[in-house]
Amino acid sequence: MGLTLLFGTFFLGLLIGMPVAFALGLAAVCGFWYEGLPLFLAFQRIVSGVSVYSLLAIPFFIFAGEIMLQGGIAQRLVRLSAAAVGWMRGGLGVVGVFSSMLFGGISGSAVADTSALGSILIPVMKREGYHADYATNVTVASSIAGVVIPPSHNMILFAVAAGGVSVSKLFIAGIVPGVLMCLCLAVAAYVIAVRRGYPAESFPGFRALAISFVMALPGLFTAVIIVGGVLSGIMTVTESGAFGAIYALVVTLRVYRELTWEKFRRAVVASVRTTAMVMVLVACADAFAYLLALYQVPDLLAHAVTGISSDPLIILLMLNLTLLVLGMIMDMAPLILICTPIFLPVVTQLGMDPVQFGVVMMMNLGLGLCTPPVGACLFVGCAVGEIRIDQAVRTIWPFYLAIFVALMLVTYVPAFSMFLPGLL
């Protein structure tokens, strides 16, 4: 009865339009009250949920990404990608994929990726004769690189929800799967471009490529500082996030000279708003997770899954499909905080490393950002591309398929995500 009350209150809150964080908090308070536990214990859990040192890295990563979004780094990454792969058939689509791979590896945000690169690439692609649905879909699908390729603040959320998984291992584990996913998307973009007869551009020459690389290098170095500082042991995740934010400010102010006071103000406001939303989610989800553990939900799920099938391949496929469906109806951050304590014990019983599961979850829930009805990246991309959501969804399935292929490879071949962390 207590478990029914917990989930019933949560889903009722979602149905009446309550923010996810408040629905989690209300459900947790109702659960504590039903069990006769002191209500101050619920608020202690809420406060302790954000009293985690590694969470301090999240506002720094978000702020660094917003500064780079406003300070001209995205434009230079697009020029670099255009010089490197823009000569291919349908080259602007492939440029979109590789620009997302570069920018996502710096900003760590899929929505920022869609907004920044979409506003640059989608109008250009439409002017060059590309259909609006293709321009929007390739931008939206490739934006998932922002949650897989480090640094990603969603990986920090997973590390906290998983009870102390190494953030540095999660970061480096996402590199190969992120690149693999972008390669699959690039193949899909190329095949569709050939079938639709999109034009091919001429190669601009190695001199133009070198100039583009030099111009983009200060921005690219942001990711080297953040990820390299963590992996080398010189800095903690929080320290690297702070240093990355300072470096982004210096680059956009003194090197590129494109960060105006108005752009800085917009970056600060967006960072504060996003950070507040994430922290409230984390706080309320901690109290909710406490009750999940009290009701032994992970054990119940493990017994239910193994009762259906004892084959690890089938169980992993079922978990993947479950996460895909959940990602279609709920935002990524709350799903990480809710599903990690439930599903992690199941996959560890199957022998999957928590780091590998973290990467699988990032790819899985990242796909949810591109799917209706709550796909934030899909909404942003369609707004920028000036196209209806139903028009985009009608032709986006090849990109979904490309992401799903990469997801299955990462799920069933541990080496894709575990080879680089094994070298640490």
Cα–Cα distance, 116 to 112 (Å, whole number): 6
* pLDDT at res. 396: 87
Residue 164: pLDDT above 90?
Answer: no
CB environment 217-256: b (16+ within 10 A), e (fewer): ebbbebbebbbebbbeeebbbbbbbbbbbebbbebbeeeb
What is the structure's pLDDT at 105? 62
At residue 89, the 3 state secondary structure works out as strand
Contacts of 173 (CB under 8 A, 6+ apart): 355, 356, 358, 359, 417, 418, 420, 421
Q: Phi first, then psi: what are they for 263, rounded to 5°?
A: -65, -40
Reduced to 3 states (helix: H, G, I; strand: E, B; else coil), residue 17 is coil
Pairwise CA distance, residues 318 & 396, whole Å: 23
Which H/E stretch holds residue 10? helix 2-15
Please compute the mean of the pLDDT values over residues 11-36 and round it to a whole number. 85
**Where are the chain's structural domains?**
54-280+376-423
Per-residue pLDDT at 359: 93
Residue 405 scores a pLDDT above 90? yes
pLDDT tens for each residue of 412-422: 999 999 998 88
Give just the sign of the alpha carbon dihedral 121, 122, 128, 130. Answer: positive
Residue % of the chain over a pLDDT of 70 = 96
The C-alpha atoms of residue 370 and residue 365 are separated, in whole angstroms, by: 9
- Strand, helix or coil for residue 95: helix
pLDDT of residue 374: 67
Q: Is the pLDDT assigned to residue 354 strictly greater than 70?
A: yes
Looking at residue 256, the DSSP 8-state letter turns out to be S
Task: Please provide the average confidence, as pLDDT, over all residues in the chain.
Answer: 83
Q: Are 122 and 144 in contact (CB under 8 A)?
A: no
Sign of the torsion angle spanned by Cα atoms 222, 225, 231, 237: negative
Residues 102 and 220 sit within 8 Å (Cβ to Cβ): yes
With 90 as the cut, is the pLDDT of residue 247 above it?
no
Phi, psi of 200 (to 5 degrees): -115, 140
Phi first, then psi, for residue 49 (nearest 5°) are -60, -30
Q: What is the DSSP letter of 174?
A: T
Is the pLDDT assigned to residue 408 strictly greater than 90?
Answer: yes
- How do residues 191-230 score in pLDDT, each as one tens digit? 888 888 877 676 777 888 888 888 888 877 877 777 777 7
Mean pLDDT to the nearest integer, 375-395: 82
Examine the pLDDT at 26 and tell me if it is beyond 80.
yes
pLDDT, position 107: 62
For residue 372, say if its preceding peptide bond is cis, omega within 30 degrees of 0.
no
Percent of the chain with pLDDT over 90: 10
Helices 415-423 and 354-368: crossing angle, nearest 10°? 130
Distance between terminal CA atoms of the chain?
Answer: 47
Give residue 303's pLDDT: 73
Residue 321 pLDDT exceeds 90? no
d(CA 307, CA 163): 27
Q: So what's the pLDDT on residue 355?
A: 93
Give residue-wise pLDDT tens across range 33-89. Answer: 888 888 888 888 888 777 777 778 788 888 887 887 788 777 787 778 777 776 777
pLDDT (0 to 100) of residue 409: 94
pLDDT bucket at 406, cuts 50 / 70 / 90: very high
Does position 9 have pLDDT exceeding 90, yes or no? Answer: no
Give residue-wise pLDDT tens across range 93-140: 888 888 877 776 666 667 777 777 777 778 878 877 888 888 889 888
Q: Give the single-character DSSP code of 277.
A: H
CA atoms within 13 A on the CB side of 116: 32
More confident residue, 266 or 375: 266
Write out the H or E segment, with its range, that includes residue 397. Answer: helix 397-412
Six token digits for residue 201: 């551009």
Look at residue 230 in the predicted model and tell me its pLDDT: 75
**Dist. CA 179–CA 101, nearest whole Å:** 7
pLDDT confidence of residue 373? 67
DSSP labels, 202-235: PP--HHHHHHHHHHHHHHHHHHHHHHHHHHHTSS
**Structural tokens at position 243:** 């240093």
Q: Judge contact between 139 and 114, C-beta under 8 A.
A: yes
At residue 357 the predicted structure's pLDDT band, cuts being 50, 70 and 90, is very high
- Cα 217 to Cα 76, 139, 151, 242, 260, distances in angstroms: 9, 23, 17, 20, 21
On whether the CB atoms of residues 74 and 251 are closer than 8 A, the answer is: no
